Structure 1
């Protein structure tokens, strides 16, 4: 069984609020990007994911997690 971890970032990028949802399964990282016309509360995001999770489209991330990222 693979471990699954998730992370979410929410930020404002004129003129919308962007929600990036990352999930890692094994050695694969996938990302789904959503946009909101209003500042979403935690409850708004929770409701959205409850109602629409099956409709989300994930794309493979370009990051290689086997190599460390130097900043």
Structure 2
């Protein structure tokens, strides 16, 4: 059985607020970004996802957690 993880981040990047939803299923990581012109209250984000979740476009991430990163 695969574990499924989801993460939602909202941050400001001039001139928009960006809602970044990422999900991990097994080894696959997919990301979707939604742009807001205003700071979205939590209830608006929740409503948006309830109404539009089936229409979201996810992109595969190139991130590989198993590679060694040298700092």
Deviation at 1:70, TM superposition (A): 4.9
Task: Write out the 4+ residue segments of structure 1 that deviate beyond 6 Å after TM superposition.
Answer: none
Corresponding residue for residue 27 of structure 2? 27
2:60 is aligned with 1:60: yes
Q: CA separation in 2, counterparts of 1:41 and 1:60? A: 28
Counterparts in 2 of 1:45 and 1:69: CA distance versus 1, 3 Å: farther
User: With structure 1 as the length reference, what TM-score do the two structures score?
Assistant: 0.90
Matches within 5 A, 1:11-22: 11-22=11-22
User: With structure 2 as the length reference, what TM-score do the two structures score?
Assistant: 0.90
What is the aligned-residue RMSD (CA, Å)? 1.3
Unaligned runs of 5+ in 1: none
Aligned length: 71
Unaligned runs of 5+ in 2: none
